[in-house]
Structure 1
Amino acid sequence: MPRTISRDTQLCMSLSGRPGNFGTRFQNYLYQALDLDFVYKAFTTRDLPAAIGGIRALGIRGSAVSMPFKEACIPLLDELDASAAAIQSVNTIVADNGWLKGYNTDYSAVASLLASHAVPKDIHFALRGSGGMAKAVASAFRDSGLRHGTIVARNPDTGQALARGCGYEWRAEPGDEKPQMLVNVTPLGMEGGHEATALAFTREQVQAADWIFDVVALPVETPLIQLARELGKPVITGAEVIVLQAVEQFVLYTGVRPEAELIEKAAEFARG
């Protein structure tokens, strides 16, 4: 039976410009399966300081943070974990007696996937995007030993800053170069967006690449991932990233690490 919510139930939440259902379904499935007195709810806001103040004032245990709040929330927090301080991007807030600490579990998820997929360290990649998630991905690439990369971003300020900070090149558009690995860290191809059918790279570039990595998690099979599979390319998907980072958030909130089999069941339920 579903757990009865009481005054002692701990609330966890998410803040996103475009809330989805994955985190809510994933976290609540695990709370139920492990008989934990927690509940999770997704929110959006037009008043970020008030929303962060609410986390502090109401004793909310933690919050996931998505676009466009990953960098904007930093001045509103009390402390940054090393995972967030190094890249100045937060995707998780944990509250302890009103003290708000920011973490970045995107970074650890991407680093883990690069290792588990055995991506060669000498590969040349192009990463499209320069926002908070792009910082996490580019930093994970750098710290995993991938030295040859290009940041593709129309915004010269954020694009050049990210490239400079990670030791990569920068260019405003993908152009006609054909890197060995293509990485999309933009909303292109995102479900419900105005560019849901768009590709971050050309078909020719996908055809020439050895690896495709799309951080967009919904839909699971983005246009870029669909094309890559059609062409027989190895892929890393946003669906993989979202599960790994969500597990780490769950551990930060509850102190409990679920077994792998239960994580897979929760992920399957969340996608349903």
Structure 2
Amino acid sequence: MKPPIGPKTQLCMSLAARPGNFGSRFHNRLYEGLGLDFIYKAFTTTDLPAAIGGIRALGIRGCAISMPFKEEVIALLDGLAPSAAAIDSVNTIVNESGTLTGYNTDYSAIATLLDEAEISPATPFLLHGAGGMAKAVAAVLRDRGHKQGTVIARNEAKGRALARTYGFAWDHAPEGLYAPLIINATPLGMAGADADRLAFPTESIKAAEIVFDVVALPPDTPLLHTAREAGKRVISGVDVAVLQALEQFVLYTGVRPEPGLVEDAARFARCV
């Protein structure tokens, strides 16, 4: 049984521009199932330095970092684990007695999903985005041996830099571009101002074989909905969220739950 909240309860949290319920429900369900004296809460902020300072000052054990803070947060940390340093993107902070270290669990989650989908490294792709999540996706694709790919980003400097780093082409917009694998790593389709926007034109979706959207909120984004209606194979941002959140949980608690508990927490988290 989980102990009642008290002075020794350890707080974990998340920071996102548009906080959702998934992480809170996932982590708190596992704390309950394992009887751990932890609690998890989602936050947003307009003052990232102050928020990170609060993590340090209040002894908050861990913090998940979502768009658009994954790169900006780096300058506020004491160090980076290899998983974050390799791609200059942080999605997880671990606090060890006031020392804040950044990690990235997106990479392993994305790699697992692409492997499970048995996507050949010979498959050409379009990757829409140039931020922290796009970096994780591009790194996975390069490390899997993909050679034929285009990074799409309206910010030419960031798009060209990302494409150059990982050995891919760049284009400023998805219109008129087609590939068997298309991946959205932008906020397009995310709950909020961009909720109704498609990350790719319908023509690109219809021409694709596999559609991957890293956006987890809502679970059925306009991109995934359109892809399913067109009969395409899809990989969902919720799938990414489960796998990366599990690795965060292990970093925070030092406990790796059994698969049955993880499946239960994932089902519970989806019922929002």
Compute the TM-score of the two structures, normalised by the length of structure 2: 0.97
Q: Which residue of 2 aligns with 1:43?
A: 43
Listed one character per residue, the Cα deviations across residues 76-99 of structure 1 (whole Å, up to 9, x for unaligned) are: 111101110011000000011111
Tell whether the 8 Å contact from 1:45 to 1:51 is kept in structure 2 after alignment: yes
How far apart are the structure 2 equivalents of 1:96 and 1:194?
36
**Matched residues in 2 for 1:121 and 1:31: separation?**
38
Range 76-85 or range 140-149, more displaced: 140-149
Matched residue type, 2:68:
P
The 3-state SS of whatever aligns with 2:170 is strand
TM alignment of 1:122-137, pairs within 5 A: 122-137=122-137
Match of 1:75 in 2: 75
- 1:3 deviates by 3.6
Q: Does 1:247 align with 2:246?
A: yes
Q: Provide structure 1 residue ranges, at least 5 long, that are not aligned to the other structure.
A: none
Q: Partners of 1:63 and 1:251 in 2: how far apart? A: 13
Q: CA deviation at 1:237?
A: 0.7
Asked whether the 8 Å contact 1:114–1:144 carries over to 2, the reply is no
- Which sits farther off after the overlay, 124-133 or 174-183? 174-183
The reply on whether 1:270 has 2:262 as its aligned counterpart is no
What code does the residue aligned with 1:77 have?
L
Instruction: For 1:36, give the aligned amino acid.
Output: L
Q: For the Cα contact (< 8 Å) 2:2–2:34, is it kept in 1? A: no
How much is the aligned-residue C-alpha RMSD, in angstroms?
Answer: 1.1
Specify the code of the residue in structure 2 equivalent to 1:71: E
> Which residue does 1:85 correspond to in 2?
85
2:129·2:184 contact (CA, 8 Å) conserved in 1? yes
Matching of residue 233 in structure 1 with residue 232 in structure 2: yes
Q: Are 2:200 and 1:201 aligned?
A: yes
Q: Is the 8 A contact 1:125 1:182 kept in 2?
A: yes
Shift of 1:177: 2.3
Contact 2:2 2:31 in 1 (8 A): no
Question: 1:168 aligns to what?
Answer: 168
Match of 2:260 in 1: 261
Contact preservation (8 Å) 2:175, 2:201: no
Per-residue CA distance 1:24-72 (angstroms, 9 max, x = gap): 1110010000000101111111221111111111111110011111111
Q: Distance in 1 between matches of 2:229 and 2:175?
A: 23
1:102-144 Cα shifts (integer Å, max 9, x gaps): 0000111001111111111101000001111111111111112
Contact 1:150-1:163 within 8 A present in 2 as well: yes
What is residue 140 of structure 1 aligned with on the other side?
Answer: 140
Q: Tell me how far 1:9 sits from its aligned partner.
A: 0.6
- SS state at 1:12 partner: strand
* SS of residue in 2 equivalent to 1:127: strand
Give the drift of 1:2: 6.0
Corresponding residue for residue 187 of structure 1: 187
Amino acid at match of 1:180: P
Task: Give the % identical residues.
Answer: 61
Q: SS of 2:72's equivalent?
A: coil
Report the alpha carbon displacement of residue 23 of structure 1 after superposing the two structures with TM: 0.4
Letter in 1 for 2:22: F
Equivalent-residue separation in structure 2 for 1:200 and 1:16 (angstroms): 20
Alignment of 1:206-217 (within 5 A): 206-217=205-216
Segments of 4+ moved more than 2 angstroms: none
Distance in 2 (alpha carbons) for counterparts of 1:51 and 1:219: 25
State whether residues 14 and 42 of structure 2, in contact with CA within 8 Å, keep that contact through their aligned partners in structure 1: yes
Name the counterpart of 1:153: 153
Q: Using the alignment, how far apart are the partners of 2:214 and 2:202 within structure 1?
A: 18
Residue 120 of structure 2 aligns with which residue? 120
* Distance in 1 between residues matched to 2:144 and 2:243, nearest whole Å: 17
Matched, 1:29 2:29: yes
